[in-house]
Amino acid sequence: MAFCACAFAIISVLVTIVGLIIFKLKAKQSVPVLDPEEYWGPGEKPNQNDLTIKDFKIQISQQDIDDLKWRLEHTRPLQPPLEGIAQEYGMNTNLLKKVIEFWKTEYNWKERETFLNKYPQYKTKIQGLDIHYIHVKPENPGNKKVLPLLIIHGWPGSVREFYDVIPIFTTAKDDRDFVFEVIAPSIPGYGFSQAASKPGLSAAHVAIIMNNLMKRLGFASFYCQGGDFGAIILQNLCVLHPECILGYHTNMAYVSTPLSYIKYVVCTLWPELIVRAEHKDRVYPLLEKIEHRIRETGYLHLQATKPDSLGVGMTDSPAGLAAYILEKFTTGTDRSWQQRPDGGLLEKFTYTDLLDNIMIYWWSGTATSSFRLYAETFSNKSRAMKTSWFPLEVPTAIARYRNDFYMADGILGEIYPKLIQLSDFEGGHFAAFELPEVFANDVIAAVEKFEDYNKKMEKKFA
């Protein structure tokens, strides 16, 4: 037994050394340079760019409303769940029937259309694509400093996630000397932002589009916040254009370096080297965590390989789209709800809230194009850029929620060397949607620290 332990220790050290070598080789690589004028629209690039900004409102025709009603009324009989099964096989069809019935009889689209149009919305053409965004300025900032905040959603979310945090961000408070001006775009191919007509639009390329959007609006530098794919997009932006980022807050820290994987394996013997004692169960036992990750990311493999096949069913069937998306709001909010027949959906949300988000996908017909972002981002060409391996040279804040993806303390330093704030909360993947006050207050606290940090840096290099 002693010999085995010794051999394992030696192997672990050797593996760590190899990992360090790989990491050092990575550090010598140059940050990729992406063309800020690359054209993603249909056909040939026009000779002149359209710089206009147009007002936008969601306006759904009666014909489309009638079509949805007909599809819901004619949903084919659903296969009953297996005996004793809640959400373990995906969306429980008994629960789905309740959602569909609510959708048909209680969800009032005209009221929700008015609600979703409550904030100013616009479209402007960036690199050949009409980009939709919400832009809310503080009404009465007084003598407060107005700070631009770019906030980006992910999948299967939308700008609907931010409707309860926008008022918190844009309302001046006596206890802080700033207030936000919020820009919340829809990712290209999501909601009311135009989808790319050409292959290759990865998260890194979306980052360039978002940077161009902020420049179009007059912001050479800004604060930003992202979760899910919004986090991946903004992590890329921090790498590609750190000079534009005043500070980055994320509720989905993302570390995928070779050394990080080696650390997780080696530290199965000494977990305390990378994870605090009270969080050990979020990382280990490692095989159990890996098994859970594989089981819960089947959607990622499908969307990263066959987005167009999958998208047909989601675009044609509202019931299918609801089942596919709502299942993520069960497991993504609290993993234990997978054992509940009701999926726990009404614990933190209402059916109306959840259907608002689904309707954005349905009306825009963007199921397929939203899936494609996975295929483009996880393609060999995109991964070869290794943008996820570069440390972020911008001040960063991380909020970790218990039921979301978790990165151990000892891993974070590889990618976030300027980590100024690290917070831990109860809650899940859709933090802004689920816990708007907790989420918004953490972002505000982070920006207060970013402001102090940036002032010190200005003095240091003055």
Task: Report if residue 63 sits inside a domain.
Answer: yes
pLDDT tens-digit map of 135-194: 999 988 989 999 999 999 999 999 999 999 999 999 999 999 999 999 999 999 999 999
- Pull the structure tokens for residue 1: 């037994």
For residue 33, count CB atoms less than 10 angstroms from its CB and return exposed for 0-12, middle for 13-18, buried for 19 or more. Answer: exposed
Look at the chain and count its residues. Answer: 462
Cα angle vertex 316, ends 311, 318, to 5°?
100
Same-domain check for residues 413 and 273: yes
pLDDT at 437: 98
Same-domain check for residues 5 and 126: no
What CA–CA distance (Å, rounded) separates 192 from 186?
7
Rounded to the nearest 10 degrees, the angle between the axes of helix 351-364 and helix 109-116 is 80
Catalytic residue among 374, 401, 406, 416: 374
Same-domain check for residues 16 and 143: no
pLDDT tens-digit map of 7-61: 444 455 545 555 554 555 445 689 999 999 999 999 999 999 999 999 999 999 9
Q: DSSP secondary-structure letter at 120?
A: -
Could you check whether the bond before residue 258 is cis, i.e. omega within 30 degrees of 0?
Answer: no
Q: State the CATH number of the domain containing residue 273.
A: 3.40.50.1820
Same-domain check for residues 152 and 280: yes
Catalytic residue among 132, 153, 249, 429: 429
Same-domain check for residues 63 and 26: no
Task: Report if residue 215 sits inside a domain.
Answer: yes
pLDDT tens-digit map of 331-343: 999 999 999 999 9
Q: Average pLDDT for residues 336-356, to the nearest whole number?
A: 97
pLDDT at 7: 44
Closest CA to 446 of 418, 427, 426: 418
Same-domain check for residues 448 and 381: yes
Same-domain check for residues 147 and 292: yes
Same-domain check for residues 17 and 162: no
Catalytic residue among 107, 228, 334, 353: 228
Q: DSSP secondary-structure letter at 32?
A: P
The total number of structural domains that make up the chain: 2
DSSP letters for 417-452: TTEEEEEEES--S-HHHH-HHHHHHHHHHHHHHHHH
Q: Average pLDDT for residues 240-251, to the nearest whole number?
A: 98
Query: Is 374 part of the annotated catalytic residue set?
Result: yes
Task: Report if residue 455 sits inside a domain.
Answer: yes
Task: Report if residue 206 sits inside a domain.
Answer: yes
Query: Is 429 part of the annotated catalytic residue set?
Result: yes
The pair phi, psi for residue 185, each rounded to 5°, is -85, 155
Task: Report if residue 40 sits inside a domain.
Answer: no
Could you check whether the bond before residue 156 is cis, i.e. omega within 30 degrees of 0?
Answer: yes
What CA–CA distance (Å, rounded) separates 50 from 53?
9
- Residue numbers of the domain that contains 10: 1-30
Same-domain check for residues 431 and 350: yes
> Locate tokens 């297996």: which residue?
82
Query: Is 241 part of the annotated catalytic residue set?
Result: no
Which residues pair with residue 180 across a beta bridge? 147
Task: Report if residue 334 sits inside a domain.
Answer: yes
Residue 207 near residue 385 (C-beta atoms within 8 A): no
Task: Report if residue 36 sits inside a domain.
Answer: no
Same-domain check for residues 150 and 72: yes
Same-domain check for residues 324 and 184: yes
Task: Report if residue 166 sits inside a domain.
Answer: yes
Same-domain check for residues 65 and 12: no
Question: pTM here?
Answer: 0.94
Q: Is the pLDDT of residue 107 over 90?
A: yes
